[in-house]
Amino acid sequence: MRKIYYLSLFVTNILLAQNAEHAYKKVDEGIELHDAGKYDEALSKYNEALILDKDNSFALYEKAMTLEALKRYDEAVETSKYILKLYPNDDNKTVYVTYGNALDHMGKPDLALKIYDEGLKKHPSYYHLYFNKGITLATSRKNEEAIKAFQASTKLNPNHPGSFNALAVLSSSNRIASILASSRYLILDNKSTRAKGNLDAIISLMNKGVSKQGDNSISLTIDENTLNKVNKKRKSENDFATADVVLSMSAALDFDEKNKNKTDIEKFAEKFKSICGALDETKKNQQGYFWEFLAPYFIEMKNRNLIEPFSNIIFLSANNGHATEYSSLNPDKIDEFYLWSKNYDWK
C-alpha cells in the first residue's frame, strides 16, 4: 500500500513539474505578445499558464502589468493585491509600480502614493518607484515633492532619461538647472520624438532675454532677482545666478559680427562652455542637488574638452546636417565622449 502511495506521489510531482514548465512557456509567449502591443492575446496566454499552474507568480506578475496596459485598472489592482498577499517575501517591486500606476489612473493619487511608499520601504533602491511616485506628485501639482522624487530616481539610476526629462520640465524656472537636466537627458536619448523638444527647450532658455533690434543693436535683459543673487554672500540651494548672468552675456555674442558665420552647434558649444566655466569657478560652498550631483559631471566634461562632441551628439536630435557630418567624420571623438560618460563616477 505504501509503495502505491509513493508511486502516486512521484507521478503527481512529475505532472506538476511538467505543468509548471508548460506554464512558463505560455508566459514567455505572453510577454512577446505584450511587447508587440497585443495585450488581449497576451492576457489569454497568462490565463492559460494559470490554468496549468495555479498561482504561478511569473504569470500573475505579467498579468497584472498587461491588465494595467489594457486600462482594466480595477483588475490590475486586485491582481496586484493578490500577488502581494500570496508572495509577500518575493522580489515584487514591479508589482508595487503596477499597483500604484493603476490606482493613479483610477483617479486615486493619494492611495497610489501610499502604495509607492510601501514599495519603497521594501525596495528603497528601486528607482522606478521614485520615478512613478514623481509622476503622481507632479500630476497632483505637488511639484517640490515631485522634484525630490525624480532627483532620488536619478541618483539611483543616472541613466534613466525619463527622470531627467521630468526634472528639466519641473525646474524650468531655474534655467541653468533645467539646461543641465535636459542636457543629461539628450546624452541618454537623442533619437526619440521627445528629444527634439528638449533641444528646443535648451536653446530657448539659453537665448532668453537676448534679442536683436531693428537698428541692429542687441537687447539684453537680465532679471533683477538674478543680479541681486550674484552679490549675495549667503547662497541658497541650487543658486546659479553667476552662471545665469554669464550665459546671458555669452548669448549676446551670437549677434557679434565675428560670429555670424558660425554654425548653430558652434554657437551652442560656446554658450555651454561659458556655463560650465562659470560653474567651475563658483562651485565652492554651493549646495543642492543640481550643484552636488549634476554640475560636477558637466564641469568634468568641459575639463576633458568634450563639449564639442557633446554638442554635436545632442544636435543629432534635430537631424542637424552639421552634427551628422561631424559624427561621420569624428567617430573617435564620439566614442571618447560616450566612453567617458559611461564610466563617469556619479557621487
pLDDT by position in tens, the chain (length 347): 444 433 343 334 444 445 667 888 889 999 999 999 999 999 999 998 999 988 999 999 999 999 999 999 999 999 999 999 999 999 999 999 999 999 999 999 999 999 999 999 999 999 999 999 999 999 999 999 999 999 999 999 999 999 999 999 999 999 999 999 999 999 999 999 999 999 999 999 999 877 777 666 677 677 767 666 776 666 789 999 999 999 988 888 888 888 888 999 999 999 999 999 999 999 999 999 999 999 999 999 999 999 999 999 999 999 999 999 999 999 999 999 999 999 999 98
Per-residue pLDDT, 212? 73
Q: Give, as one character, the DSSP assignment of residue 220.
A: E
Give the integer Cα–Cα distance in Å for 282 and 150. 25
- Three-class DSSP category at 210: strand
Same domain assignment for residues 111 and 141: yes
Dist. CA 110–CA 95, nearest whole Å: 18
Q: Are 62 and 34 in contact (CB under 8 A)?
A: yes
240 lies in the same domain as 115: no
Whether residue 81 is contained in a domain is answered as: yes
CA proximity to 192, closest of 154, 162, 222, 228: 162
CATH number at residue 75: 1.25.40.10
Sort 208 into a burial class: Cβ within 10 Å, 0-12 / 13-18 / 19+.
middle
Same domain, 24 and 121: yes
Shared domain for 218 and 87, answered yes or no, is no
Helix/strand/coil for 108: coil
Q: Which residues of 109-147 are buried (b: 16+ CB within 10 A; e: fewer)?
A: bebbbebbeebbeebeebbbbbbbbbbbbbeeebeebbb
pTM of the model: 0.89
Crossing angle of the two packed helices 264-282 and 241-252, in degrees rounded to 10: 150
Task: Tell me: do 224 and 156 sit in the same domain.
Answer: no
> What 8-state DSSP symbol labels residue 318?
G
Do 53 and 89 reside in the same domain of the chain? yes
Last residue of a domain, one of 188, 217, 237: 188
User: Is the residue at 199 inside a domain?
Assistant: no
Write out the residue range of the structural domain in which residue 244 sits. 204-343
Count of structural domains, the chain: 2
Report yes or no: 181 and 154 within 8 Å, Cβ to Cβ.
Answer: no
Q: Which residues, 6 or more positions from 115, have their beta carbon under 8 angstroms from its beta carbon?
A: 96, 99, 100, 103
Residue 202 · residue 183 · CB < 8 Å: yes
pLDDT of residue 12: 40
Q: How many CB atoms lie within 10 A of CB 301?
A: 22
Whether residue 36 is contained in a domain is answered as yes
Check residue 214 and give its pLDDT.
Answer: 63
In a domain, 133, yes or no: yes
